[in-house]
Structure 1
Amino acid sequence: MSEHKITASHLQRTTVIYVRQSTLAQVQRNTESTMRQYDLAGRAQQLGWPRTAVQVIDEDLGVSGASAAGRSGFAEMAARVGLGEVGIVLSLECSRLARNNSDWYRLLDLAGMTDTLIADADGIYHPAMFNDRLLLGMKGTMSEAELHILRSRLDGGIRNKAARGELRRGLPAGLVWGEGDGEVLPHPDEAVRGVITVIFEQFAVRGSVRAVWLHLRDQGLKLPLQRHGHVTAAQAAREEITWAKPTYHAVHNVLTHPAYAGAYTYGRTRQEKRIGDGALHVRRRVAAARRMAGAHQRPPRRIHQLGRLPGQPGQDRAERPAAHQPGTGAVREGCALLQGLATCGTCGRKLAVYYEGKHKATPGYYCTGTGQVVEGRGTRHLRIGGVAIDTAVTEAFLAALEPAALQACLQAAEQLEHGHDTSLEQYRRQAEASRFTAARAERRYLAVDPGNRLVARGLEAAWEKALTELAAAEADLARRQAARPAALTEQERAAILALGDDLHAVWDAATTTDKDRKQLLRTLLDEVNITVHRDHDNGRADLVLRWKGGAITELTIPVKRQPANRLRTDEDTIGLIRRLAAYYPDAKIAGILNRQGRRVRDTFVGAEDHLW
């Protein structure tokens, strides 16, 4: 040992024992290693320090030594070393202090300047001495290399297992792991499967995440909370399900998660380091699409033996909410019927909507892309009023719908009934689950000894809570059953069929809102491509209607030529005014212009009017 390096100056200062474990699991399981680190207090006393001068810093238990960020104990120790308050720093091994060379050498520099010793199980070192610093530097390098090797082995094993589809990652609500390798099954609870099915069915009808979220809120449906995504089917059957009000983010995650489409993915996101305020390193998760070129990305792998829920789409449909394609997005309340459907015939962008007129009730469409530069200013590919275009598309839509109008009306009524039935069935499942919970609480209460009041009081309170929840669930079910629309009678079916004979009357009815018209258009149309030709003699707009199923209809509507700006004074008159202004006053110039019959700003200039 190197006890001769300890001087009286060192003994007059404090001894710091630094205790650290990399993870909380190590703190819980590797108790022997933790005890060895605390036992270093006895070694400090053997080296000559009194017990009162020994201080243990263990704030970093469960924190990795890969960086000094988040290690308050290491920061406190380094600060005290820099102030010259520490005579020696004791640790079980150098890797306990730091596994990062930048942090390690910073500590060595401070210790060398303040005459502070560093000791581990192998010996005592003075960072100001060349040989000791060389040895400490090698130990620090080996500690960092050891961390890199350990990480590489673990990461390689994880990626290799993920490539086979056997790495069990967290699953979203509604899916659980099976017994086989890579086997994913639907949740055993019918209520959980039912609400997930409702989300996909409503998205297929409504076409936007927000519309599905609003439907769930209107129907009062709740979403199951997944405590952790590593449960198996057997564990899920025993666990109690927690229900919560749906949020937009939760619905979006359900519709975009690859697991619902039967795909196994790994490496879709990663962590990147960013410089934040105060030169702090901030970790942020970024999508795989924003990664740097050459970054590792594994393609989705289809899961074998996947128990897909009813109504679940394929992977392409599951990723639809993130795609900015025509026909996507929420339907707004404005009167521009082609909002979200119209695209530019030049660049293919979705057209934006504007409104003009006294009451902002006249719609129009324009392209957000820059077409060309004219006199230093960018011009748009198109900007056109939408009244004539909406009318032409509406006529084509109603003409295409007319052969199947009668059946479509009946299907609309049946779809309304089906939507209520789906929500009603979910309420029945929740009421059934509440009955089971109340019955189980009753059995537990009856099974306990009545004299054991310490246990009986708790079971009695749980039973009362279950009965309250059961009463609320049955009340919700009864309210939903009363609100369910009745089945169509023969007279109502006849009235609906009569409406199908005159689609224009239904379309123009006061009870049909612009939002309803937009949703109807989206049932048959995927895109309306618009190309504007502003010729002086033959201005027109070419429309290409792309129907669902691949059919295409081409329409051409005339476009009014923009009139000349009548408020502008012609250049010849402006030149005459400039020449006369050098010799005559304003009144004289006005008289000359009036005698020649010239107009300025679309009116004759009076004798007392100024020209500027």
Structure 2
Amino acid sequence: MPDLKVTADHLRRDAYLYIRQSTLRQVAENGESTQRQYGLRHRAIAAGWPAERIHVIDCDLGKSGSSAVARDGFQELVSEVALAKAGVVMGLEVSRLARNNADWHRLLELCALTSTLILDEDGVYDPASFNDRLLLGLKGTMSEAELHFLKARMRGGQLNKASRGELEMAPPVGLVYLPDGTLALDPDAEVQAALHMVFTTFGRLGSATRTVKFFLDEGILFPRRLRKGPHKGELMWAPPRHARILQVLHNPRYAGAFVYGRTRGRPRPGGGVSQIKLAMADWRFVMPDMHPGYIDWERFKANQERLADNAQAYRIQRRAGPVREGSALLQGRVLCGLCGARMGVHYSQEHGRPVPTYICQETTIRGGGKACQSVPGKVVDPAVGALLVELMTPMTLEVTLAVQRELEARAAETDTLRRQHIQRTRYDAELARSRYMKVDPDNRLVADALEAEWNEKLRLHTDVVEDYERRAPEEAAALDAGMHQRVRDLAEQFPRIWNDPRVDVRERKRILRLLVADVTLIKAEAITVSVRLSGGATRILTLDRPLPIAQIRRFKPELVAEVDHLLDRHCDREIADIFNERGLRTWEGKPFSLNKISFIRSAYNLPSRRQRLRDQGMLTTREVAKHFEIAETTVHQWGRQGLISKVCSDNCNRGLWNIPSDLRIIKGRPGRTALATRTASITALSTRQDAL
């Protein structure tokens, strides 16, 4: 009997049958459910739709109904309904169409607006009718709740196994499941050596980036196990990436611990779930020592703390960070003694070189106030360096032996890893050769491919051997007897090496971080430096504050007095030469110059050499000519004749005339008698000097 809800208007439009199974496994194993969904076509034919106008949408087989984002078939169905092309939408049950209330009610709203019917195994519904819409809404809610119950059951079983540490999860490279279900180290010695080297190198260098650089510089490859594809389960060796090394360092399974709940899912607005990493304190299940590992749990936690300190993300308090370029010795180790925050480093130029200043900007950043304090690094760094040299003196022998053992162990570990890689490439080449030798020679299609594979494996083995032979002499030379002797000399020469400008500043910072936990600075009348050593002991240093630049540039009173004294007999240039001959230098450590002496005269209001001569009554050429009513050329002629003398007054460029008292009293042009008398006196004086 035809349903009364189906009208001629509905029959003029097409019928759409939506078919979906949640997973591909259900499609393969639950064939009866799929057949029941296809069988709904007969319900549409019975209601009056011809078979050629019944469209089957089954491209969403194997897709979950929890979201409509990845379901192209459901999107097509919604489009046809919105365009008023559908007279009826068919699904075996509501859960086939959607298990998400938002998607389900959106479809109901469109069906109500376009007068589209909904048909399932129980009957036909009109979304425009309140009663039908209420019933469909209840069915959608029950479908969504059913999905929740299914997930809750599976989640409960998963958590139950995880609480006992028995939940199997894909192990990272370097760990494998044994046939009895226990987790153990990978039996491949080369894989174990590569992972051991990662943790050893990070412990030595303290930085994931520098660990990657060490692997790349040494030409060491890192393994990766393929998770999918035709070569699933095989090992692939490649140069490590920074993200790969971080994954290894952050993975607690390498510490022999079972951990569950390191991430938390959060639904995305457009559908799907994003994973958010949780802090270690928020992990749901943490069970150390559940299986063998490459490091212990305490070392894993220490590595996490170091990685957190190295992080450069903006946080409540900036972490110490790894050692970097820059001359600031205490970079990342300085705390403000006023507010307790970590102090940053600011560099400025002084005499053409960068000078560090430790500055606390916590108040500036957080509250828009002023900086707590700034402490000059040129005062603090040398004092802490001297303290470090003093502390290193009693333990020099122990340090020397430790450095020597570290060099030898590092070289042996690297050599072992390279030898293992050679063995692996040799095995791969022999395996490729064995495959090639077993193939039928007449089957050229297969034989050519196997021969090319054999040649590629041989080439790779040859490259690895050549690289090993090239690096072996370099490492042997680095560990010769001369190197051992230089390491032994380190104990006695440590102060000289520490102060050697050729030593990289990052090496000094690493040495300091081994001994110093942090340094607290307080700047008052003096600078108080509280050095907390790694063992917990504390050293207090009290340093004088540096003089202000105005006082540094201020010349000493005795120097100014000497300039004042010399100006009675010398010009500025001559005074500069005298100071340089005496070995005197400016506050910048530079020789004195004409401009520097002129600056001293101007700054301290000292009369110049010319002014002093003028005060003594000496005249210029023009003034002499005017006084005696003669030409200026005559003045110079008198000077050559010795009637008057010229005294240097201005940087050896100009001078003033010293007029004798017997000529000075003469006004106007002097008479012949006076000139003759003056000339005779000069001639007699010259004759007397020649006789002497």
Using the size of structure 2 for normalisation, the TM-score is 0.72
Superposed counterparts of 1:572-587, under 5 Å: none
Aligned alpha-carbon RMSD (Å): 3.2
Of 514, 521, 546, the residue aligned with 1:560 is 546
Of 318, 321, 325, the residue aligned with 2:303 is 318
Q: Is the 8 A contact 2:254 2:295 kept in 1?
A: no
Of 372, 381, 406, the residue aligned with 2:372 is 381
SS at structure 1 position matched to 2:122: coil
**2:199 matched residue in structure 1:** 200
Q: What is the Cα deviation at residue 370 of structure 1?
A: 1.3
Q: 2:293 matched to 1:302?
A: no
Matches of 1:126 and 1:466, distance apart in 2: 69
Q: What is the Cα deviation at residue 85 of structure 1?
A: 0.7
Bigger RCO (CA 8 Å, 6+ sep)? 1
Matches of 2:12 and 2:477, distance apart in 1: 91
Q: Which amino acid aligns with 1:210?
A: T
Superposed counterparts of 1:345-364, under 5 Å: 345-358=337-350, 359-364=352-357
**1:156 matched residue in structure 2:** 156
Matches of 2:515 and 2:185, distance apart in 1: 33
Greater shift after overlay, 495-504 or 113-122? 495-504
Q: 2:510 matched to 1:519?
A: yes
Q: What is the Cα deviation at residue 180 of structure 1?
A: 5.0
1:4–1:316 CA distance, 2 compared to 1 (3 A): same
Superposed counterparts of 1:94-243, under 5 Å: 94-179=94-179, 183-228=182-227, 239-243=233-237
SS at structure 1 position matched to 2:477: coil
Q: What is the Cα deviation at residue 146 of structure 1?
A: 0.9
Matches of 1:50 and 1:78, distance apart in 2: 22
Q: Deviations over 1:130-167 (max 9, x none)?
A: 44333323322221121111111111221121111111
Q: Is the 8 A contact 1:207 1:328 kept in 2?
A: no
Matches of 1:290 and 1:85, distance apart in 2: 55
Unpaired runs of 5+ in structure 2? 311-317, 554-602, 606-692
**1:284 matched residue in structure 2:** 274
Q: Which amino acid aligns with 1:104?
A: W
1:497–1:327 CA distance, 2 compared to 1 (3 A): farther
Matches of 1:125 and 1:377, distance apart in 2: 64
SS at structure 1 position matched to 2:465: helix
Matches of 1:239 and 1:377, distance apart in 2: 56
Q: Deviations over 1:286-340 (max 9, x none)?
A: 232499xxxx851422242x11226886331231234338995321121111112
SS at structure 2 position matched to 1:379: coil
1:406–1:453 CA distance, 2 compared to 1 (3 A): same
Q: What is the Cα deviation at residue 8 of structure 1?
A: 2.8
Q: 2:245 matched to 1:245?
A: no
Q: Which amino acid aligns with 1:111?
A: C
**2:576 matched residue in structure 1:** none
Q: What is the Cα deviation at residue 548 of structure 1?
A: 2.6
Using the size of structure 1 for normalisation, the TM-score is 0.81
Instruction: Detail structure 1 runs of 4+ shifted over 6 Å in the superposition.
Output: 563-567
Percent of matched pairs sharing the same residue: 38
Matches of 1:174 and 1:52, distance apart in 2: 59
Matches of 1:84 and 1:239, distance apart in 2: 51
Of 421, 431, 437, the residue aligned with 1:440 is 431
Matches of 2:25 and 2:68, distance apart in 1: 20
Q: 2:75 matched to 1:75?
A: yes
Superposed counterparts of 1:477-492, under 5 Å: 477-486=468-477
**2:526 matched residue in structure 1:** 540
Q: Which amino acid aligns with 2:499?
A: D
Q: What is the Cα deviation at residue 365 of structure 1?
A: 0.7
Q: What is the Cα deviation at residue 56 of structure 1?
A: 1.7
Q: Is the 8 A contact 1:262 1:303 kept in 2?
A: yes
SS at structure 1 position matched to 2:215: helix
Q: Which amino acid aligns with 2:277?
A: A
Greater shift after overlay, 215-224 or 502-511? 502-511
**1:589 matched residue in structure 2:** none
SS at structure 2 position matched to 1:44: helix
Q: What is the Cα deviation at residue 407 of structure 1?
A: 4.5
Of 461, 464, 471, the residue aligned with 2:455 is 464
Q: Is the 8 A contact 1:200 1:313 kept in 2?
A: no
Greater shift after overlay, 320-329 or 394-403? 320-329
Q: Is the 8 A contact 1:21 1:34 kept in 2?
A: yes
1:321–1:254 CA distance, 2 compared to 1 (3 A): farther
Q: Which amino acid aligns with 1:447?
A: K
1:559–1:466 CA distance, 2 compared to 1 (3 A): same
